[in-house]
């Protein structure tokens, strides 16, 4: 791929009035504004282990969506995802947030059937015409996914928030989950990493990476279909905890280990250059700090930060080879303290 030229930041605002940059209204951006993974696990500790026989996937391993059996041949998937602005263009933010929310359904091997909007809005700072553009972007992606947006819920909030709650379906035998990985299999990644770094640069400078926007607004639908057809049963999507964080969660939940080939991991054009310039999200450093005790590596700190970069609407991380997508490592038996070698 060739590097996309940066273009000036443009906040979608139909009235043309000056509201400043959308990302300036938020302390973080995209999935990088998640509660740090270790803190989140502490918060839900003691809430796991619900024993309903119909719950196929619940809280236990922090999977992408809940899965509940409603009849022998059908499970319902339920998920929700929202975040602060990751780009200055309101419609693009809506598209990114919607693709990110629907990704959880695809990561489970399912198909979305309906979504509702989740909104927090600082009415005194941002007009509702800006919100309308955000919602329009979400609807664009829902339409591309072949589903309807049937309503939602909104509150006033100190910073803008947008996302979706999505419902999907999956045949139980095709369910992909993060605790089903086995040793001795290839590891496949379906999107390049580095959008967190590029989004951090965008927030600091106003430069837009169209390559990052294109990646974040691409649905994981085709990748999920290919994975199911290839017989993959262990998967997750790479979002706020970074490639390292999500792979660590899969290995821990499955009781295995993994070896990564850094040279095989695809990156978005411009990400390595932005990293060298020092554009590193705080969430990416927190991800690395969380995984580091479980990591055996000879990589440089800069390379590790890239692997831990907090992604927004990232690709699928699949245990198994899927035609058309790069293999970035393989799973192994866990024989020592480390879960990941890189």
171: left (phi over 0), alpha (psi -120 to 50) or beta: beta
pLDDT (average), residues 89-110: 97
pTM over 0.75: yes
What's the chain's length in residues?
342
What distance in Å separates the CA atoms of residue 257 and residue 23, rounded to the nearest whole number? 38
CA distance 237 to 105: 10
Query: What would the mean pLDDT of 319-331 be, rounded to a whole number?
Result: 98
Is 143's pLDDT higher than 90?
yes
Question: So what's the pLDDT on residue 13?
Answer: 43
Q: How far apart are CA 264 and CA 259, in angstroms?
A: 12
Kindly report, residue by residue over 207-257, the tens digit of the pLDDT.
Answer: 999 999 999 999 999 999 999 999 999 999 999 999 999 999 999 999 999
DSSP 116-167: EEEEEE-TTTS-HHHHHHHHHHHHHHHHHHT-EEEEEEEEE-SS-EEEEEEE
Region 285-292: what's the mean pLDDT? Answer: 94
DSSP string, 39-106: HHHHHHTTS-----TTEEE-TTTT-SSEEEEEETTEEEEEEEEEES-SSS-HHHHHHHHHHHHHHHHH
For a pLDDT cut of 90, what percent of the chain falls above it?
80
Q: Beta strand pairing status for 235-237 and 316-319?
A: antiparallel
Q: Where are the domains of the chain?
A: 22-173, 186-341
Topology annotation, domain 186-341:
Phosphoribosyl-aminoimidazole Synthetase; Chain A, domain 2 (3.90.650)
The CATH label, of 3.30.1330.10, 3.40.630.10, 3.30.470.30, 3.30.230.10, for the domain at 22-173 is 3.30.1330.10
Average pLDDT over the chain reads 90
Q: Is 33 a catalytic residue?
A: no
Report how far residue 230's alpha carbon sits from residue 185's, in angstroms, rounded to the nearest whole number.
13
Q: pLDDT digit string (tens) for 35-65?
A: 666 676 677 666 766 668 888 877 776 767 8
pLDDT in tens, 257-283: 999 999 999 999 999 999 999 999 888
Task: Check 22, 26, 31, 227 and give the catalytic one.
Answer: 31
């Amino acid at each position: 791929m060739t590097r996309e030229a940066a273009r000036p930041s443009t906040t979608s605002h139909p009235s043309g009035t000056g509201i400043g940059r959308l990302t300036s209204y938020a302390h973080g951006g995209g999935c990088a504004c998640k509660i740090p993974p270790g803190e989140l696990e502490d918060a839900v500790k003691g809430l796991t282990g619900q024993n309903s026989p119909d719950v196929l996937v619940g809280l236990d391993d922090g999977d992408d969506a809940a899965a509940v059996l409603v009849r022998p041949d059908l499970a319902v998937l339920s998920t929700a995802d929202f975040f602060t602005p990751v780009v200055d263009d309101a419609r693009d933010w809506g598209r990114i947030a919607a693709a990110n929310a629907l990704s959880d359904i695809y990561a489970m091997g399912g198909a979305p059937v309906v979504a509702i909007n989740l909104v927090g809005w600082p009415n005194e700072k941002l007009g509702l015409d800006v919100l309308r553009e955000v919602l329009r972007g979400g609807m664009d992606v829902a339409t591309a996914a072949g589903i309807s947006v049937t309503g939602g819920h909104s509150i006033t909030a100190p910073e803008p928030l947008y996302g979706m709650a999505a419902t999907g379906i999956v045949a139980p035998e095709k369910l992909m989950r993060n605790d089903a990985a086995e040793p001795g299999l290839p590891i496949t990644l379906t999107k390049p990493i580095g959008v967190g770094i590029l989004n951090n640069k965008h927030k600091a400078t106003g430069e837009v990476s169209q390559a990052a926007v294109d990646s974040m607004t691409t649905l994981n639908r085709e990748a999920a279909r290919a994975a199911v057809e290839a017989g993959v049963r262990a998967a997750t999507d790479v979002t706020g905890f970074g490639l390292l964080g999500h792979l660590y969660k899969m290995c821990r939940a499955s009781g295995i280990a993994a070896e990564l080939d850094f040279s095989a991991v695809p990156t978005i054009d411009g990400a390595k250059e932005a990293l060298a310039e020092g554009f590193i999200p705080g969430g990416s450093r927190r991800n690395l700090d969380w995984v580091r005790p479980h990591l055996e590596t000879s990589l440089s700190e800069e390379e590790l930060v890239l692997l831990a970069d907090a992604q927004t609407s990232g690709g699928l991380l699949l245990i198994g080879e899927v035609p058309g997508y790069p293999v970035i490592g393989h799973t192994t038996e866990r024989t020592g303290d480390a879960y990941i070698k890189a």
